Amino acid sequence: MHVVHPAPREPSRRYRRAMGDASASWRLDHPWAKVYERVSTDDRLGPLLWRLGTGSSVDELHARAAAALDALPPGARVLDVPCGSGIVLRDLPRDHALRYVAADISPAMLRRTRAEAERLEVPGIETKEADVHRLDDQDHTYDLVLTFTGLHCLPDPAMAVHELARVLRPGGRLVGSTLTTDAGLRHRATWVAGRAAGVLGPGGTRADLRRWMADAGLVDVDLTPAGAFTYLTARRP
Ligand SMILES: C[S@@+](CC[C@H](N)C(=O)[O-])C[C@H]1O[C@@H](n2cnc3c(N)ncnc32)[C@H](O)[C@@H]1O
């Protein structure tokens, strides 16, 4: 007998996790998102937990973000995606004259980013809900795209890198970081736990990351390992 199952209106969280779509878990504000927010915004415990968890210093993220932002002229356009809970906002000067868009797939994370902007009294931050695999921005929109600690959370990081390169204007820079799967035995457990919890995507090795960036047409690619992370910079020719 042929049985027709009614289509579910909205796939459940369990279904989405089983399908391995980490982005869907983040969008639904997975419990890890709240923990991550504390780790990335708590000034006292955060840096210690970051070091224990990733074998690197969160100061490096801030130094790289600040350097990239400082190099921009007034009026330059910046996309920070995924912005998470607004970790990069503290690297913006309060009197900045940039056009800064913070984007994330999670409405809860965007609320946290807005709260962080208020707390830090950083003006002029636009937030928008966006899937980094399918941005609604036109080609060549941004002078700088920041993508810190995000590619490893995505179902299709190669597609995301292509999209990030697409929205960069010629000469614009991509700056960010990601976990990679070849960061050493010590960090394997992070991957296993993150995949099991449904908050990490398939990820890739540093060689994969380099290939995704080259395939997206990016040049001057620099990859710098730091504990579990690889920091990345590149330019659109
Ligand atoms: C580990 S957090 C890091 C974000 C932030 N840049 C940082 O360094 O703290 C990863 C973020 O990716 C977001 N995310 C996951 N999938 C996404 C997608 N497809 N498009 C946009 N954001 C996504 C999550 O909601 C989460 O805020």
pLDDT band at 12 (very low <50, low <70, confident <90, very high): low
Which candidate, 103, 170, 91, 89, places its Cα nearest to that of 131? 103
Over the stretch 62-103, which tens digit does the pLDDT of each residue have? 999 999 999 999 999 999 999 999 999 999 988 889 999 999
| pLDDT at 189 (0 to 100) | 86
Q: How far is the CA of 44 from the centre of ligand 1 (A)?
A: 23
Q: How far is the CA of 52 from the centre of ligand 1 (A)?
A: 21
Terminal-residue alpha carbon distance, the chain: 60
- Mean pLDDT over 211-224 rounds to 98
Distances from the Cα of 44 to the Cα of 50, 69, 105, 189, 228, angstroms: 11, 24, 28, 25, 21
90 in Cβ contact with 148 (< 8 Å)? no
Most confident option among 32-41, 146-155, 186-195: 146-155
Angle at 173 between CA 98 and CA 112, to 5 degrees: 50
Residue 10, pLDDT > 90, answer no
- What is the β-pairing status of strands 142-147 and 168-179? parallel
| pLDDT at 7 (0 to 100) | 41
Residue 185, pLDDT > 90, answer no
Number of alpha carbons in the 13 Å side-chain half-sphere of residue 14: 1
| pLDDT at 39 (0 to 100) | 82
For ligand 1, whether the C-beta of 87 sits within 6 Å is: yes
Question: Which is the closest atom of ligand 1 to the Cα of 87?
Answer: 9
Residue 143, pLDDT > 90, answer yes
Ligand 1, from 37, 78, 105: best to mutate by most atoms within 8 Å of Cβ?
105
Question: Which is the closest atom of ligand 1 to the Cα of 80?
Answer: 6
38 in Cβ contact with 116 (< 8 Å)? no
| pLDDT at 201 (0 to 100) | 93
Give me 46's structure tokens: 């955060």
Secondary structure (3-state) at 205: coil
For ligand 1, whether the C-beta of 98 sits within 6 Å is: no
Amino acid occupying residue 100: Y
pLDDT band at 44 (very low <50, low <70, confident <90, very high): confident
Q: Which of 12-21, 47-56, 101-110 is the least confident region?
A: 12-21
What gap in Å lies between CA 196 and CA 216, rounded to an integer? 30
| pLDDT at 41 (0 to 100) | 80
Beta strands in the chain (DSSP E): 77-80, 99-104, 125-129, 142-147, 168-179, 219-226, 229-235
Which residues are registered as beta bridge partners of 99?
77
- Look up residue 29 and give its DSSP letter: T
Which candidate, 213, 131, 207, places its Cα nearest to that of 165? 213
| pLDDT at 9 (0 to 100) | 44
Which structural domains are found in the chain, ordered by start? 13-235 (3.40.50.150)
